[in-house]
Chain A
Amino acid sequence: MTQEPWRVEIADKTLSPYCPAVEGWQALAGVGATVTFTGQVRRASALGDVDAIDLEHYPGMSERVLRQLLRDAESRWQIVAGEIVHRIGYVPAGETIVRVSVASAHRCEAFDAAAYVMDALKTSAPFWKREWLNGQAHWVDAPNAHLPKPRV
């Protein structure tokens, strides 16, 4: 099975928590580990039950930043394949918002690269959440707005 080893996608429909590319990556000779992180809409919040979030993005720049995150991860860790998929639009509680998957020879590189991509995504990728509670929407504040450096 041949496929593009590096892939990003902005998705406007329900997103599976499982990365379909992983099966193909498992066939690659150098791969000994794959990691997938899935972020989803958390129902419980300090203000009550969240019905959904909706996500705005900066078309063009969002894809560009996600591609750059994979390039950065590839230059820092021995990873051989990676995919980032991010939802936009209305995402009900419990559904997937973001999925980051990477493949490497050993587990440490895969864990570290996936964690790096998620941390950097949260501070640099142009997406904005609005939370829906009781029929009303409010913009979510960035908790780490004053911590520009992602963990490495």
Chain B
Amino acid sequence: MAPRITVRYFARFREKLGLSEEVIELRPDMQTVSTLRADLALRGDTWAALVGPEASAVMVALNQNLLNVSGEVELNDHDEVAFFPPVTGG
């Protein structure tokens, strides 16, 4: 069975994308965070602008740890990836 990951969206992203969470099956050509983002960007302009490879005002977490957005990180079965806008707590 293909590996599956959970992808979560928060705050403004959740509202604009109309989705808080989904399970995505990882194809052989979609094994990293950056290829996942490229794939999500194919869904349309809003997706590309918020979470696509060119998006700048995005934070990405893998298994609840913040990622350096420019880094290339491998995805594994059961991983949890989250996309959200810059945080505004405190």
Contact = CB atoms under 8 A, between A and B. Distances in A.
Contact of A126 (B12, B57, B84): B84
A110 interface: no
B90 A122 contact: yes
Given A61-B61, A61-B82, A56 B11 contact: yes
Given A58-B82, A60-B64, A61-B82, A124 B87 contact: yes
Interface in A63-114: 64-65, 86, 97-98
Contacts, number: 73
Q: Which of B10, B86, B87 has the most CB of A within 10 A?
A: B87
Contact of B66 (A97, A124, A139, A145): A124
Interface in B15-62: 57, 59, 61
A138 B65 CA distance: 27
Interface of A is mostly: mixed
Contact of A125 (B11, B12, B57, B87): B87
Give the contact-size bracket for chain B: 10 to 19
Given A61-B61, A64-B64, A98-B90, A142 B85 contact: yes
Give the contact-size bracket for chain A: 20 to 34
Contacts of A39: 90
A60 B10 CA distance: 13
Interface of B: 8, 10-12, 57, 59, 61, 64-66, 82, 84-90
